[in-house]
Amino acid sequence: MILVVFLALYGLEAKEAKAVRVTITVVFGNGSNCAGRGICSVTIDVSLRAAQSGSTTTQVIEGNAEVKGDKLYVTLSKGLSDMAINEKGVKSVSIQRPQHLSPDVAKQLGYNNLTILPSNYVMDGNTITFDVKGAPASSPVKGAPVGTK
């Protein structure tokens, strides 16, 4: 009986979402050459020492990320530049191929691996919600600080 209770508690604990601090690097542009307006690519890293955004086509922002179900919620600490507005007048990012998050990011989110699925993702305020799939770690990291590189 105690084993059943322990397993039930562990199962609930393993499904609990945990937000981690991340650095998001956004490259503005559209298409394969990233020219024009809109968001060309988004890179999510756990390093808080990301490169500074020295050009008008790149913005580096700190934020939080957490997985709930099959969604990755990335909330930015501030809004994106107006360069993120595409020709349709919205801030969105188009993922053409599955994007595998780094092992460091996946581990911090409690996964062995985590992949953002191809789709067109529209920002809602300062949040981008990605569809993801991945293999949860057998024992998610609870309350561990996000390390820097």
Characterize 80-112 residue by residue with b for buried, 16 or more Cβ atoms within 10 angstroms of its Cβ, and e for exposed: bbebbbbeeeebbbebeeebebeeebbbbbbbe
Can you give the pLDDT at residue 107? 92
Span 135-143, mean pLDDT? 65
**Residues 60-107: tens digit of each pLDDT:** 889 999 999 999 999 999 888 888 888 888 888 888 889 999 898 999
Q: Whole-model pTM?
A: 0.72
Q: Answer whether residue 19 shows pLDDT above 50.
A: yes
Q: Answer whether residue 146 shows pLDDT above 50.
A: no
Q: Answer whether residue 143 shows pLDDT above 60.
A: no
Burial classification of residue 52, based on how many CB atoms lie within 10 Å of its CB (0-12 exposed, 13-18 middle, 19 or more buried): exposed
Q: Where are the domains of the chain?
A: 18-136
Q: Answer whether residue 126 shows pLDDT above 60.
A: yes
Q: Answer whether residue 119 shows pLDDT above 60.
A: yes
The DSSP code sequence of 62-117 is: EEEEEEETTEEEEEESSPPPGGGB-TTSSBEEEE-S-EEPPHHHHHHTTEEEEEEP
Can you give the pLDDT at residue 21? 84
